[in-house]
Amino acid sequence: MNPIIREARPEDRPFIKEIARLTWGGEDYLARVFDDWVKDGNFYVLELEGKVIGTAKLTLLPGKVGWLEGLRVHPDYRGRGYGRMIQNFMIDLGRRLAEQGKIEALEFATYFLNRESIAMARKDGFSVMARFFNLGARVEDFQPEKPNPVELGMNDLTLGIIPLGWKFVHRSEEALEWLREKGEAYEVNDFKFLATRDGATFTPLSTGLGCIRAMLPAMAWVAREKGREEFDLMLPGGMKPVLPGLRRLGLFLWDETDEPNVLVFRKKLPERSVIKPL
């Protein structure tokens, strides 16, 4: 039986949970977002002989961006071209959405050691538009300090590309509204930071070494309140010179490197065809 790619359905949950359990040492987020992704749409699975063996998602982000995420293939079926099959399907989907005027580009982020995904992306015409450091921290290494919830303003968005977890948006009024809806913002010692709603990942909105030192106890407080023992920070690649200082603050990289370990890719799509009157 030939594999088929179709929209995900609620009854696919057991297959998705199995793929998540076998990905990233069981730390994959796929099972946690399953319900939301099914509801949101543009969530697809690859089915072979009645079993879901692969997944992919396209999420509409501000700025007419089609954000690609959740590309997975069950470990037992890797190396057989299924990843490429799903990738091709998602790029074709992006082209159709561009023809409808819904998006203008495809973007995604990946870990720097995800060589297969990076190679496929470059072959498909994606290029790196931004680099970030994803650093880890342990709640127990800080004396948690309660921050104040705040509402973001445009002046708070000092970066041209703003991370919220592993999604990245381009600075704009539309992006500001999206960040307010999808994330949480806090302030401590006059410094503001963004947090994902699960307290897993934080984005400092002031990126000096002293600013981050002042914010870490508040981030630890938020993470602890969300039931987490560890949390991550997303920092722009330009902070490479202060990487030793970040390590002294108790931050760590999951794999030893002095280069940014998160790559954000972009592929501009053809504009919608316009038929001019004769």
User: Is there a single domain that holds both residue 82 and residue 186?
Assistant: no
Residue ending a domain, among 103, 123, 140, is 103
| 23 — pLDDT class (breaks 50, 70, 90) | confident
Evaluate whether residue 277 is within a structural domain: no
Higher pLDDT, 8 or 25: 8
Q: Is residue 48 part of a domain?
A: yes
Residue 6: its pLDDT value, please? 97
Query: Does 113 map to a domain?
Result: no
Q: Considering the domain boundaries, does residue 278 fall inside one?
A: no
pLDDT in tens, 51-61: 999 999 999 99
Cα–Cα distance measured from residue 102 to residue 246, given in angstroms and rounded to the nearest whole number: 40
Q: Is the pLDDT reported for residue 124 higher than 70?
A: yes
Percent of the chain topping pLDDT 70 = 97
pLDDT digits 0-9 by tens, 236-275: 999 999 999 999 999 999 888 899 999 999 999 986 554 4
Do 31 and 138 lie in one domain? The reply is: no
Residue 206 lies in domain: 132-262
Query: Are 85 and 136 part of one and the same domain?
Result: no
* 137 and 258 belong to one structural domain: yes
- pLDDT at 173 (0 to 100): 97
Position 278 pLDDT exceeds 50: no
pTM, two decimal places: 0.92
Q: Has residue 59 been placed in a domain?
A: yes
Do 93 and 167 share a domain, yes or no? no
Is residue 119 situated within a structural domain?
no
pLDDT at 15 over 60: yes
Determine the average pLDDT of the residues in 39-44: 96
Return the CATH number at 93: 3.40.630.30
Which residues have C-beta within 8 Å of that of residue 130, sequence separation ≥ 6?
161, 168, 236, 237, 263, 264
Number of domains in the chain: 2
Q: Which residues 6+ apart lie within 8 Å of 126 measured at CB?
A: 106, 108, 265, 266, 267
Q: Which of 103, 124, 152 is the last residue of a domain?
A: 103
DSSP state string for 81-129: SHHHHHHHHHHHHHHHHHHTTS-SEEEEEEETT-HHHHHHHHHTT-EEE
